[in-house]
Amino acid sequence: MRAVLFDGTEIKLVEKAIRKIRTNEVLLKVSICGICGTDIKILAGKSHASPPVILGHEFCGVVEECGNNVQTLAKGDFVSVDPNIFCGHCQYCRKGKVNLCENLIALGVDIDGGFAEYCIVPEKQCYKIPKTLAPVMAALMEPLSCVIYGFQHADIQPGDSVAIVGGGVIGIMMLKLARLSAARQIIVVEPDAKRRELCRAIGADAVFNPNDKNADEEIIKFTRGGAEVVIECVGSVAAVDQAYRLVKNGGKLIIFGVSSVDQKWAISPYDIFRKDITIRGSFLNPFTFKTAVDLVASGKINFDDLSIRAFPLNVIQEAFKNQIQQKSLKTVIDLSL
């Protein structure tokens, strides 16, 4: 099969044999695999991976073959894949904190993933998707499941003001979830004018440009003293710092964006103490994949309005460039092209 192999420095299109599946695994014919910010970071040497490995962790496909012990899937089923495989027996797994698993491995990071014609996946990582759903929607389940976990931390209460910092695909997913809550107002902070416009169309009550000199002031005024919930979806110190400045006294800040490992943020402990602020992180998608599938399958969440550009597998370099340069909101590899 054709596959995109990461050798530790670069990605290359290679021909790779498909190994025999084990009893608890299925062979998937990959439909669509999204390019994630993490893939870009892996290529840049700024995020962990275990090369040589086929990248791609946001994918869906059709079951081609089932191992002997597979109970819940059959040939022809359309599934979305949760790439994060936890061990089930470490100290974290035994307390339900599977995203912190000491032996965590991920498809498309540590073992072969979805930038390939076929992928072998453990049965328990597969979630059945209605066949009527567009494959590109099914490929977005993984990022959505992570967003849902972050959104759970936000714990939005009726009447809250919610500020989302960053109007990329993750910020927009947060916005769509927040629209289903009883928030009093939802604002999005995003430098790109087109994205701000899109967020407005999706239902943000107000959008702000963080590069405007008075942005903080205007947001504080609009939210009457700051937002009860601020969700940072960028992954930079500047964004985290601005998000922090927008938190109302007694409010909370969710750090969802993935900043570089070496970045540091200067913050006043007194400020956090005096303002009674909660700051929390959000890593991966523990037990939220099913919720993502349910929300999309029921039509409560859809991604019809996102600009998603699809590339065939053989122009993977071009596709990565498209994602790096953010020429569309999301870039995916479509194996049917």
90 near Zn ion, rule: CB under 5 A: yes
Residue span binding Zn ion (CB under 5 A) among the ranges 35-43, 149-157, 210-218, 274-282:
35-43
Please state, in angstroms and as integers, the Cα–Cα distance from residue 298 to each residue in 133, 291, 293, 295, 301, following that order.
10, 10, 8, 5, 8
94 or 131: CB nearest Zn ion: 94
Q: Exactly one of 26, 33, 38, 53 binds Zn ion (CB under 5 A); which one?
A: 38
Stretch that binds Zn ion, among 24-32, 38-46, 132-140, 283-291 (CB under 5 A): 38-46
- Is position 258 an interface residue for Zn ion (rule: CB under 5 A)? no
Q: The tokens of 303 are what?
A: 């991604």
Bond preceding residue 130 cis, omega within 30 of 0: no
CB 87 within 8 A of CB 93: yes
3-state secondary structure of 262: coil
Does position 93 bind Zn ion by CB under 5 A?
A: yes
Taking the least distance from each CB to Zn ion, the nearer of 5 and 93 is 93
b/e 229-262 (16+ beta carbons within 10 angstroms → b):
bbbbbbbbeebbebbbebbbeebbbbbbbbbeee
Token pair 């389940």 is found at 141
Nearer to Zn ion, 242 or 322 (CB): 322
User: CB-wise, 101 or 229, nearer to Zn ion?
Assistant: 101
81 binds Zn ion (CB under 5 A): no
Distance CA 250, CA 164 (A): 17
Q: Of the two residues 62 and 87, which places its CB atom closer to Zn ion in the complex?
A: 87
CB of 101 to Zn ion, least distance (A): 3
Is there binding between residue 140 and Zn ion (CB under 5 A)?
Answer: no
Q: Which position has the token pair 């990329």?
A: 168
- Pairing between β-strand 78-81 and β-strand 58-66 as defined by DSSP bridges: antiparallel
For residues 231 and 216, give the distance between their C-alpha atoms in angstroms, rounded to a whole number.
15
Closest distance to Zn ion from the beta carbon of 43 (Å):
13
CB of 132 to Zn ion, least distance (A): 25
From the CB of 267, what's the least distance to Zn ion, in Å? 27
Answer positive or negative: Cα dihedral of 331, 310, 322, 46: positive
Select 141 or 186, whichever has its Cβ closest to Zn ion. 141
215 vs 324, beta carbon nearer Zn ion: 324
**Least spacing, CB of residue 56 vs Zn ion, in Å:** 10
Span interacting with Zn ion, options 23-31, 100-108, 159-167, 308-316, rule CB under 5 A: 100-108
How many residues interact with Zn ion (rule CB under 5 A)? 7
Q: Which residues make beta-bridge pairs with 273? A: none
**Distance, CA of 276 to CA of 233 (rounded, Å):** 22
- Closer by beta carbon to Zn ion, 140 or else 229: 140
The distance in angstroms from the start CA to the end CA of the chain is 15
Among 3, 36, 253, 316, binds Zn ion (CB under 5 A): 36
Chain residues binding Zn ion by CB under 5 A are: 36, 38, 86-87, 90, 93, 101
